[in-house]
Structure 1
Amino acid sequence: MAAHSRQVLLDLVRWNGRIDDLIAAARRIPEGEFPGVVMDRASAQAALRKVLAGQALPGDLTAWTEQLHMREDIDIEPGHEDLLTQFLFEMSTPELFEPITRELCSRWLDELCATP
């Protein structure tokens, strides 16, 4: 069961599946049981590319980042905590920053790709 639960969190971070299904599955897992699941720049880049390619809606990106931002058992890629935390915060609360548009996704993708 533990391996399955860990895989659910990995699938959420990597956005492998329908966002609603991923979020529902992750919500059934008690937080803190599976340390070591890491949100990295590659996952953020892949999510932005989904929106830019029309494979996901801006609202899906908001839901995904909100779930990742809320979970305390998902770590942030070491060395990129500030950048990825800012990404999660801005994308999960577009009403506080700016609406999620193709332009915003492109800017974030450039920023995430430019960071060594």
Structure 2
Amino acid sequence: MGTHAYIDPDFLATGELIPKSDIYSFGILLLCLLTGKSALGISKEVKYAVDNGDLNALLDPSAGNWPFVQAEQLAQLALRCCDMNQRNRPDLESDIWRVLVPMKASCQHSTVIYITSAF
């Protein structure tokens, strides 16, 4: 069944488990990774911070220095994943990967530059 805070609210209401249910859980997980906070109520807290231009204060400092542009992109993506209506959630292949793959490539490139310049 899973941990309550990660469970798709539509699944709780209907008992129907679909791929978009996993997208909801993925969004909650992303928000937890970004903030270091527990899953309970995290989407409302992050949405409030994003809407008020205060996302930077919510980011988990123990996770390292988040490039703010990428952290904001991840937060926006995660909030879309956590939409209460399953139909409004992004598709894994066409929407989520479109954000994550270039972000991964960008991070790998930054690491290579850093390692190269260290020698």
Relative to the length of structure 2, the TM-score reads 0.38
Instruction: Point out the structure with the larger helix share.
Output: 2
